[in-house]
Amino acid sequence: MTRRSQRSAAWMLASALAVTGCAGDRPTLVGPASSPAASSASAPASSAAATSSSSPTARPVPRVALGATVATGLAVPWGMAFLPDRSALVAQRDNAQVVAVAPDGAVTQVGTVPGVQHGGEGGLLGLAVSPTFVSDRLVYAYLTTDRDNRVVRMRLDGGRLGPADLVIGGIPRGTIHNGGRLVFGPDGTLWIGTGETGDRPLAQDRSSLAGKILHVRPDGGIPGDNPFPGSPVWSLGHRNVQGLAFDSRGRLWASEFGSQFFDELNLIERGGNYGWPVVEGAGGDRRWIDPQVTWKTPEASPSGIAIVDDVVYVASLRGSRLWQVPVRGERAGAPKAWLIGTLGRLRTVEPAPDGGLWVTTSNRDGRGDPRPDDDRIVRVTLTP
């Protein structure tokens, strides 16, 4: 595991938001016009707190190829996390079931997470496996209940999930923009992406857990390095975060859904404000942190992300493609699209034990065009 480095940023709260929570309202500032594919935005200066002052040795960006189908007939797979035995746990959003998918594609049900209430974009969402799973057997899940979004943890013993214990609750829920991604950082702490539930001002409300990236200890406690004492909030001003991953320098990257103009790939800074709902895309205003990459919304709607050898892979829903974005030093490079239209809507991408990727489709989520055997998990190979 690499050590997590922290990049600092000044935080400023918008004094008076004129933007309402209505879905049709536009932010007051938008990013610059995007290229036909995507554009890279200016990056903030690097912090002296970085673990390394030099960038990693640049590797060739690999070619991406569609491999074999791993599993079929899944019910809106959302979260996915690999176990030490090289099988993957997969959360099914609408029926609240968790299944184990073996490397050979065998699918076994391991349990139903209690308290899940599916509706709209809510349900059983992200999964993460404890970094000390061999000793504690803990699996973490992000779910929507009848009153909030929350993170719970359960023991996986004998191939079955045990009772759920609360890690953190009180995350606002909605029919849209529930966030839901979980990832453990290099230091073993837990990171959580949330959405603003369609109530836009919540993203700028530091007292709300909506529209944020949260940072907690595995038991839900607040780490001492969080920017706002006593709060799990690490960054704010997010619309809907559904992708989180760390690079080789321990820096956190996040994907974010735009509204009408620009989807985003962001490099996350401690206490950083990413501008929503005042800004969508790059605003060029020092109060907000500009994204590293923007896409036009029909080309992305980015959900899960994975990082392999400092290359970010972005699963795109509306864009129905897998974006590849190299990270070199302090910058994200030019994005390249793969698998355009081949699989339909892509929800989750995870690094696989064999060095490639596992990617889930999301064609049965109510917004796709289901194909035979959907939804699926497919292998993606990465060839230098």
What mean pLDDT is predicted for residues 6-13?
35
Residue 86 has pLDDT above 50, yes or no: yes
Give the tens place of pLDDT for each residue, 286-306: 999 999 999 999 999 999 999
Residue 31 has pLDDT above 50, yes or no: no
Question: What is the pLDDT, as a whole number, of residue 48?
Answer: 25
Instruction: Give the residues across from 69 on adjacent strands.
Output: 378
Question: What is the pLDDT, as a whole number, of residue 3?
Answer: 37
For residues 260 and 303, what is the distance between their CA atoms, to the nearest angstrom?
16
Report residue 162 CA to chain centroid gap.
26
Residue 240 has pLDDT above 50, yes or no: yes
Question: What is the pLDDT, as a whole number, of residue 185?
Answer: 98
Q: Is-contact 67 378, C-beta < 8 A?
A: yes
Q: How confident is the model at residue 23 (pLDDT cuts 50, 70, 90)?
A: very low
Question: What is the pLDDT, as a whole number, of residue 276?
Answer: 98
Residues 6+ apart with CB under 8 A from 106: none
The two three-digit tokens of residue 13, written as one number: 């709260």
Lowest mean pLDDT among 37-46, 120-129, 152-161: 37-46
Question: What integer best gives the mean pLDDT of the chain?
Answer: 88
Lowest mean pLDDT among 20-29, 135-144, 311-320, 346-355: 20-29
What mean pLDDT is predicted for residues 355-366?
98
The two three-digit tokens of residue 213, written as one number: 């990236």
Residue 139 has pLDDT above 90, yes or no: yes
Q: Which domains does the chain have, with CATH numbers?
A: 57-383 (2.120.10.30)
For residues 162 and 341, what is the distance between their CA atoms, to the nearest angstrom?
39
Residue 34's alpha-carbon distances to 39, 224, 296, 298, 369, in angstroms, are: 6, 39, 7, 12, 27
Q: How confident is the model at residue 38 (pLDDT cuts 50, 70, 90)?
A: low
The two three-digit tokens of residue 320, written as one number: 């129905």
What mean pLDDT is predicted for residues 17-23?
34
Give the other-Cβ count within 10 Å of 260's Cβ.
13
Reduce the secondary structure of 78-95 to three states and give it as a string: EEEEECCCCCEEEEECCC
Q: How confident is the model at residue 206 (pLDDT cuts 50, 70, 90)?
A: very high
Please identify which residue in the block is written with the tokens 């992300």.
305
The two three-digit tokens of residue 310, written as one number: 């400092």
Smallest Cα–Cα separation from 75: which of 378, 365, 379? 365
Output 121 or 8, whichever has higher pLDDT.
121
